[in-house]
Amino acid sequence: MRQAGRSLPGYREVRKRASLFEICRSPQLAAEVTLEPVELLGVDAAILFSDIVLPLAAIGVGVEIVPGVGPVIDSPIRDARDLERLRPFEPAQDAPYLADAVRLLVSQLDVPLIGFAGGPFTLASYLIEGGPSKTHARTRALMYGEPLLWRRLLDRLADIALASLRAQALAGASALQLFESWAGVLDPGSYRTFVLPAARRIFDGLADLGVPRVHFGVGTGELLESMAVAGADVVGVDWRVPMDAARARLGRGVAVQGNLDPAACLAPWDVVRERVLAVLAQAGPTGHVFNLGHGVLPETNPDTLRRIVELVHGHRGGERAEPPVRS
Ligand code: 1CP
């Protein structure tokens, strides 16, 4: 999750020469920064370097990634007329570099490549707020106040995510992740009414591909039961929910992903180590994709990440393979 981001030296170098969208639109640059964490950290999978707003830019929505802020939309969506700007996304015509980057990476990687897209609530929130938001108040107000417009908006965004994810899988991605990052601001009833149908439409639309589907959000503790029925094979949880509690809420048949607090990576190694082992113990020996609970913080020392990967690799089936640290 944002593993190639601002904490890595190679990525920072590339960013001096190219903007974020320029990297995304160049298969060579996207491949270079996707490979860096695999080589440097030893992770078991690569996540394609791209951004969740890229398909919106590709269909002509005015969006910029502002450094230190995130995606900023020129002219936010406020009424039904604004919906016309969200035409269907046709990856082969609108963003051929996406599949090209996937193909290039698959030819170079010896670990699986994860493709991804933004969840409909999360993309709607950027489009309605005009950029990142702490409260997502306008988004929720439109959702409650104009349910028909909301529904049409989410259906369009679901189709955009589905088209993007299918294109990445068909180009060779081995797993697909839907980043519904900000859905955790909703209560469970609203999530079920206003977002779940769109999420289900995406996961159902991927089922024939036979590729594992991951569904992630931040602060989704109260939504996990509902997210479990959206159809993903793996649900990502952040650090607020202990892994055993997450499993109980998700029920059988769904694997879990997560959930080390990214801020824990800034602590001294002994503390990091204990917290990693606690996550592993809580998640249990199978059906767990070890990950951070959210994206890597820019100030993280890559060496800590490398040591975490090594520690997790040494920890098989509940056994501690690494000798205890002397105090
Ligand atoms: O791991 C990787 O580096 C892969 C590339 C990747 C991914 C998976 C980027 C590049 N963005 C994303 C996903 C993404 N983008 C999400 C979902 C995951 C999450 O919750 O973190 C979200 C919400 C975005 C939107 C976005 N783009 C933000 C968040 C803003 C907010 O609302 O708080 C930011 C800061 C960006 C810019 C961005 N995208 C990617 C990177 C490395 C960056 C940092 C800025 C830069 O280097 O210029």
Dist. CA 151 → ligand 1 center (Å): 25
Dist. CA 285 → ligand 1 center (Å): 30
Give 24-35 pLDDT, tens digit per residue.
999 999 999 999
Phi, psi of 256 (to 5 degrees): -115, 150
The minimum-distance atom of ligand 1 relative to the CA of 20 is 48
Q: Categorize the per-residue pLDDT at 323 as very low, low, confident or very high, splitting at 50, 70 and 90.
A: very low
DSSP 268-319: -HHHHHHHHHHHHHHH-SSSEEEEESSPPPTT--HHHHHHHHHHHHT--TT-
Beta strands in the chain (DSSP E): 46-47, 63-66, 70-73, 113-118, 175-179, 213-216, 234-236, 255-260, 288-292
Please list the residues that pair with 118 across neighbouring strands.
179
Give 101-125 pLDDT, tens digit per residue.
999 999 999 999 999 999 999 999 9
The minimum-distance atom of ligand 1 relative to the CA of 132 is 32
Q: What percent of the chain has pLDDT over 70?
A: 96
Q: Categorize the per-residue pLDDT at 324 as very low, low, confident or very high, splitting at 50, 70 and 90.
A: very low
129: pLDDT strictly greater than 50:
yes
Give 42-83 pLDDT, tens digit per residue.
999 999 999 999 999 999 999 999 998 999 999 999 999 999
Find out if CATH 3.40.50.720 is the number for domain 2-314. Answer: no
Which helix H or strand E contains 138, and what residues bound it?
A: helix 137-145
Dist. CA 2 → ligand 1 center (Å): 6
Dist. CA 22 → ligand 1 center (Å): 14
Q: What is the pLDDT of residue 280?
A: 97
Q: Categorize the per-residue pLDDT at 303 as very low, low, confident or very high, splitting at 50, 70 and 90.
A: very high
**Cβ–Cβ < 8 Å for 167, 91:** yes
Mean predicted lDDT score pLDDT of the chain: 95
Range 125-162 burial, b when 16+ CB lie within 10 A, else e: bbbbbbbebeebebbbebbeeeeebbeebbbbbbbbbb
Ligand 1 atom 31 nearest Cα: 132
Give 174-214 pLDDT, tens digit per residue.
999 999 999 999 999 999 999 999 999 999 999 999 999 99
ω before 259 within 30° of 0 (cis)? Answer: yes
Domain extent listing, the chain: 2-314
Q: Categorize the per-residue pLDDT at 143 as very low, low, confident or very high, splitting at 50, 70 and 90.
A: very high
Q: Which residues line ligand 1 (CB under 6 A)?
A: 1-6, 15, 20, 47, 49-52, 65, 67, 70-71, 116, 122, 132, 179, 181, 294-295
The residues assigned a catalytic role are 2, 6, 15, 51, 126
Give 227-271 pLDDT, tens digit per residue.
999 999 999 999 999 999 999 999 999 999 999 999 999 999 999
